[in-house]
Amino acid sequence: MRESGILMHITSLPGPYGVGTMGKQAYHFVDFLSKAGQSVWQILPLNPTGYGDSPYQSFSAFAGNPYLIDLDTLVEEGLLEDREPKAVNWGSDPGRVSFGRLYEERGKLLHLAYSRFTPDEAYAAFQEENARWLPDYALFMALKEENGGAPWLDWPEPLRLREEAALKNAREACAEEIGYQCFVQYQFFRQWKALRGYANSKGIRIIGDVPIYVPLDSADVWVNYKLFQLDETRHPTVVAGCPPDGFTADGQLWGNPIYDWRAMADTGYSWWIKRLTAAAGMYDVVRFDHFRGFESYWAVPAGDKTARDGKWVKGPGADFIHAVQKALPELDFIAEDLGFVTPEVRSLQLDSGYPGMKVLEFAFDSREESDYLPHLYPVDSVCYTGTHDNVTLKQWFDEASRQDKAYAKAYLGLNRSEGNVWGMIRGGMGSVSRLFVAQMQDYLELGGEARMNFPGTLSAANWTWRAQEGFDSDKLAKKIRKVTGLYGRLKKDN
């Protein structure tokens, strides 16, 4: 079955409280997707944002992002008064998320809601269902608060090394904050379950990202330190990154700790199975970020200032993939197989059966034929106009060389009446890929101001773009539906 969808993170939705949430705007967007004939809503990770406000650098691979909790829903439930969230200055630009304001103000309102909350059977059931990760995460966040937000490696040694007596004392001393953290997760997952259920009822599946790595400053590493390549002081011996290439002479130094894949294998990859089981509870399809890292990963000596002196090290390969498929046979995956793809990586992707990714923006290099030209796509693939790490289509046409633009125009038959952006969308829609996904920014024909992320940079522009009120109009839905139907991708009506 041919399908199409739209990539737009929840934070990019409009709304009154500084960031897109799981409230009425999200439900309105689901209605928009349905009217536009789309089958898929692709989002970025829903976990709490950490360093650089990135959803790919989270304090937990299991927890939900408190910023996404809809405050109006808490008002309706009597946990907040209508005037309380409205009295807060959430920032002056409705087109940008102000993470600084969220950091300062969100917690105050959620603490206030917690003070008015009465635990019930549903709350107790939630705690029991999530007992594998929730107590450790809540303690981790409580201790971060107790230690002024410092990374766990800077905590007092008994806590850093997880000595049992120290943990017992901390649980007692931080009981109130631990309760608050559990309450926040309860509210997040209640709201997300309702929103996802609404999307599914409209025939729309959710694609969500699972980053391959977790940050050093996370509950995952603090608790599961034996599963990472750390020394006796719990510091990394090697960190993750990418090798030098034509775009970055020093490579990319991500800094994430790297898994001890031998230790992972000895446990039957139990941590990963738990992580993906949790992901299956959040998404209908999982996009495996940096899939090539399962075949071989770039390991950089800890302490290096660049990724230049790293080396390729064999990953878990098919043994890991087969373990995942045995444990979660019903969960669908997409392999993010972009970047330096060797024959070994391609073999692993094909062996997995997971569809790979094709990015239309990568196709039109006038100097050589690209693997990303639509006539080369396999049917079992996902065609993207671009991802959250790429320029928008308008920006691509604004910045591409004259030769590359001429190539795209000739290949796609672009014309003035249709416009370059919609012509490129048509080219992706017409590909044989089973699934086509475009960024919302491309349907809105927005330029560089709407780019979601600039990889390898810390920028106030990263992750902050928000759509304007009324972006999801019936007129636009009708236009998207027309091109979707033209190429046989309309979702089946429920």
Residue among 465, 61, 458, 60 nearest 254 (CA): 458
Q: Which residues in 104-135 are b (16+ Cβ under 10 Å) and which e?
A: ebbeebbebbbeebeeeeebeebbeebeebbb
Given the residues 3, 53, 217, 289, the one annotated as active site: 289
Residue 284 DSSP class: S
> Hey, is 465 helix, strand or coil?
strand
Is 389 among the catalytic positions? Answer: yes
Q: How far, CA to CA in Å, does 156 sit from each of 136, 170, 227, 257?
A: 17, 12, 22, 21
Cβ partners under 8 Å of residue 159, min gap 6: 143, 152, 166, 167, 170
Q: Which residues in 455-476 are b (16+ Cβ under 10 Å) and which e?
A: ebeeeeebbbbbbeeebbeeeb
Dist. CA 142–CA 138, nearest whole Å: 6
Dist. CA 69–CA 193, nearest whole Å: 12
Dist. CA 169–CA 159, nearest whole Å: 10
Cβ partners under 8 Å of residue 246, min gap 6: none
Is 289 among the catalytic positions? Answer: yes
Instruction: Judge whether 465 and 441 are in contact, CB under 8 Å.
Output: yes
Helix axis angle, 134-146 relative to 175-201, nearest 10°? 130
> Hey, is 253 helix, strand or coil?
strand
The number of residues in the chain equals 494
- Name the E strands within 212-341: 238-242, 252-257, 285-288, 296-301, 311-314, 332-335
Q: What share of residues in the chain are helix, strand, coil (percent, to 5)? A: 45, 15, 45
User: How far is Cα of residue 442 from the mean position of the Cα atoms in its chain?
Assistant: 19
Q: What tokens were used for 472? A: 């999801």
Given the residues 336, 337, 404, 472, the one annotated as active site: 336
Give the residue numbers annotated as catalytic, written as ranges: 289, 336, 389
